[in-house]
A and B are shown apart, each in its own frame.
Chain A
Amino acid sequence: MTALLQVAGLGKRFGGFVALESIDLEVQQGERLGLIGPNGSGKSTLVNCICGTLRNESGKVRFAEEALDGLSAHERTRRGLARSFQLPRPFASLSLAENIRIPILYTVNARATGHLSRAAIDARCLELLGQVGLAAKAERRPRDLTQIEMRKLELARAMAAEPKLLIADEAMAGLSHAEVDEIIALLIRLNEQGVTVIMIEHIMRAVMEFSQRLAVLVAGRKIADGPPQDVVRDPEVVRAYLGE
């Protein structure tokens, strides 16, 4: 079986600065991959290139056996590639339910597989908000939310697109121990429903608990990829994080 996501030789530069250099990465259907690396190592740039927010100069991205090159971000989302943003970016003037409604209208309803009625969309919005524990606040605005609720909304909005692959970009930064557990449980539940998940994270506890496989980026290069326990003992990874 071919991988769900195939990144081959992906390169991205900003002027003279090489942000990503020939990245190869494969993610299998149903897998939970952790992606780590020091600040500025290119994790978010990689996500942006995979999702179409940035254009990579070299290399290819294939998703569900289809080449994504040249497709814009919204076309990739429709094909089942959703992401959450590192800093939550809710639609501030809309209620939480409406925040969820937009990806439903523009992805689920835009696919050939089905057209939900107005009532069905309303129900689905509440269901998704319920999954992240925000159903009671469906009519509130994002500004009324706490930091963790904002992260949950961000995840719920990504889930609303019914993705095959979800990329959670530092969904836990700044959260408390218990809150981190809550998000991990949410992502694992999602994974059990068949969604492949890439988690980008600095909190090692979360990464180790969540990931089945770990990839490490340092200075725009992938230096390790394998079972989490082996990767964190890899001398090159240790050097990148702790120095010599």
Chain B
Amino acid sequence: MPFTLVLIAIAVVIFAFGRWFDSSYAFFIGYVVIQYIVLGTAWNILGGYTGYVNFGITAFFAIGAYSTVALHKLVPTLPLPAMIVVSGVLAGLVGLGTGYLTLRLRGVFFSIATLALAVVVQTLITNWDFVGGARGAYVLRPRVAPLIGGEYVQYLFLLMLGMCVIVLATARTIERSALGYGFAAIRDDEGAAEAAGVPTLKLKLIATTLSGGFMGMAGAPLPFYVTYLDPASGFSLNYAVNAIAMPLIGGTGSWLGPVVGAVLVGGLQEYLRVTISSAVNVLVAGVLMVAFVIAAPQGIVGLFQRKR
């Protein structure tokens, strides 16, 4: 509980600082970095804690984004937080279903199945005319943010910040609970975990559901952020690469890893996009990921923990 309060306090300070700084560019970048904290942490619950590497991040992320597109068309007056909740629930259900269907798959076979899921979902969305199909969909961003006033992107940033607090608090709670120990046992040796009384099936389903749900939530505000969403951008490889690279670079063992990774890599990418080229950012994630997997498999957080 005190940890959550500290997180909230930090979030408040960050937002207050943003308001004082009053630069829409800063909010746009901040949104992306925080979005990657949420996405990376969500991936880490399944990939880092439980040891099941999910390559189908875009499936869950885009289910969240396209839920918003559909809801916005059906009920234009629905407030965005409600859409985020619906997106999270839908993506969580898909996570549950994925977990259930891939129960017997381990290691690389699980990863390939999730990759296939991303392709299947992308194909479905591309052929679903209601949400724009291959043409894409426009979602008009209101000019003024509700409740807080100012630009709408500030509202998006605030919502993402709120999700970030929820996701990080959840991740840290898991780490310290029986659930986290159970996840770690599954990651290290599923058979031995089962022999130690760990209900591996149930725990895996909890992990896939939570992970998928949080990814969907992270994707929900996206249509308002980009204002034009098509399958090519919603299912962009960037999301998948970053959501895996950031926890790996920061460290998969702890909630802090994805935060460090997202801030570092996200910040660096943005810096390079502005100074060098907009195409170099994926290269950064790729090169750093390879470097860290070889040189520091425990990530940045792991480097510090070893010295302790």
Chain A residues within CB distance 8 Å of chain B = 51, 53, 72-75, 77-78, 82-83, 85, 89-94, 98, 101-103, 105-107, 109-110, 157-158, 160-161
Contact = CB atoms under 8 A, between A and B. Distances in A.
Interface residues of B, number: 20
B187 interface: yes
A109 B195 contact: no
A102 B195 contact: no
Contacts of B192: 85, 89-91
B186 to A, nearest CB: 9
B189 interface: yes
B148 interface: no
A161 B188 contact: no
B91 interface: no
Given A91-B192, A98-B181, A106 B187 contact: no
A109 B177 CA distance: 13
B243 interface: no
Interface in B27-71: none
B194 A53 contact: yes
Contacts, number: 81
A112 to B, nearest CB: 14
A53 B201 CA distance: 13
A106 B197 contact: yes
Contacts of A103: 196-197
Contacts of B178: 105-106, 109
Interface in B135-186: 178, 181-182, 184-185
A185 B181 CA distance: 31
A161 B197 contact: yes
A116 B200 CA distance: 22
Classify the interface of chain B: helix, strand, loop or mixed.
Answer: helix
A45 to B, nearest CB: 14
Nearest to B196: A103
Given A102-B181, A105-B178, A105-B181, A94 B188 contact: yes
A77 B187 CA distance: 19
Contacts of A73: 194-195
Given A74-B198, A103-B196, A89 B184 contact: no
8 contacts: A51-B195, A53-B191, A72-B199, A85-B191, A89-B192, A98-B181, A101-B181, A160-B196
B182 A105 contact: yes
What 5 A-B pairs have minimum CB-CB distances, sorted nearest first? A106-B197, A107-B197, A91-B188, A89-B192, A103-B196
A217 B185 CA distance: 33
Contacts of A82: 195
B185 A74 contact: no
A101 B197 CA distance: 11
B2 to A, nearest CB: 16
A93 B188 contact: yes
A77 B197 contact: yes
Contact of B196 (A72, A75, A161): A161
A52 to B, nearest CB: 8
Contacts of B201: 72
Contacts of B85: none
Contacts of A72: 194, 199, 201
B191 A91 contact: no
Contacts of A51: 195
Contacts of B182: 102, 105-106
B68 to A, nearest CB: 38
Residue among A75, A89, A94, A109 having the largest count of chain B Cβ atoms under 10 Å: A89
A93 B178 CA distance: 16
A103 B192 CA distance: 10
Nearest to A51: B195
A116 to B, nearest CB: 11
B196 A102 contact: yes
A110 B179 CA distance: 12
Interface in B180-224: 181-182, 184-185, 187-189, 191-201
Contacts of A107: 196-197
A106 B182 CA distance: 8
A83 B191 CA distance: 11
A106 B195 contact: no
A167 to B, nearest CB: 10
Contacts of B193: 74, 91, 102
A168 to B, nearest CB: 13
A122 B173 CA distance: 18
B205 to A, nearest CB: 14
A110 B198 CA distance: 10
A140 to B, nearest CB: 14
